[in-house]
Chain A
Amino acid sequence: EVQLLESGGGLAQPGGSLRLSCAASGFAFSAYAITWVRQAPGKGLEWVSGITGNSGVTDYADSVRGRFTISRDNSKNTVYLQMNSLRGEDTAVYFCARVRTATVGTWYFDYWGQGTLVTVSS
């Protein structure tokens, strides 16, 4: 059974940092890209960042580029999201998800974790 479990959320001050983790099981972890998607309270879904299975490609939404860093440790079946210079607008539930690649190269997401809440407030 494919499982993804996020951790590391909590309260951070504006300008502060948090590191989220996404622990995966039930599939060949290194063969899949993993992505982070967030959802602000009462709002829609926003893609945040993604990383390929061999870490060869990383990508970020414009809203977090330069502040967030995605990485992975395939020996631990875990993906990380280092979030620096946090802002109030980063307050959201952060989901990690497994990436599938469509025949035309599009990333889409077939399994999701339950999410971890990040609150940025003084």
Chain B
Amino acid sequence: SYELTQPPSVSVSPGQTARITCSGDALPKKYAYWYQQKSGQAPVLVIYEDSKRPSGIPERFSGSRSGTMATLTISGAQVDDEADYYCYSTDSSGNHRGVFGTGTKVTVL
């Protein structure tokens, strides 16, 4: 089955830049999506179709994709950004549904 691999954890100081990577074999041809999940809460879509931000998501969140890797960047990270982040994408089969990445815990301190 298709897998999306993320680093288990990323630490960043307030005001610095955090980068979270997501690796998958089908990413050269498939969009990546990113979800933020704070403790005890539902996931929130922060990036869709590689680099688009939904309404209400701060500009410090940005996304990119190159080759087999997608990246979520938090520029000027804030304490409130501390959360688990999951990438999401599909495999190359053409199936409409995708898989979630393994998740990355972002710590801001």
Which A residues are within 8 Å of any B CB, using their own CB?
35, 37, 44-47, 50, 59, 62, 95, 100-110, 112-115
Tell me what chain A mostly uses at the interface: helix, strand, loop, or mixed.
Answer: strand
Which B residues are within 8 Å of any A CB, using their own CB?
1, 30-31, 33, 35, 37, 41-45, 48-49, 54, 86, 88-90, 94, 96-103
A113 to B41, CA, bound (A): 9
Measured CB to CB, the closest approach of chain B to A66, in angstroms, equals 17
Residues of the B chain whose Cβ atoms lie less than 8 Å from the Cβ of A47: 97-100
Residues of the B chain whose Cβ atoms lie less than 8 Å from the Cβ of A115: 42
| Residue of B whose beta carbon sits closest to that of A101 | B96
Tell me what chain B mostly uses at the interface: helix, strand, loop, or mixed.
Answer: loop
| Residue of A whose beta carbon sits closest to that of B101 | A44
- With A102-B49, A106-B30 as contacts: A112 and B97 at CB distance below 8 Å: no
Other A-B pairs beyond A44-B103, A47-B98, A47-B99, 7, CB < 8 Å: A101-B96, A103-B49, A106-B31, A106-B89, A108-B45, A108-B98, A110-B48
- With A102-B31, A110-B54 as contacts: A45 and B42 at CB distance below 8 Å: no
Measured CB to CB, the closest approach of chain B to A114, in angstroms, equals 5
Measured CB to CB, the closest approach of chain A to B98, in angstroms, equals 6
| Residue of B whose beta carbon sits closest to that of A100 | B48
- With A44-B86, A45-B86, A95-B42 as contacts: A106 and B102 at CB distance below 8 Å: no
Residues of the A chain whose Cβ atoms lie less than 8 Å from the Cβ of B90: 106
| Residue of B whose beta carbon sits closest to that of A50 | B97
B43 contacts A108, C-beta separation under 8 Å: no
Residues of the B chain whose Cβ atoms lie less than 8 Å from the Cβ of A109: 43, 45
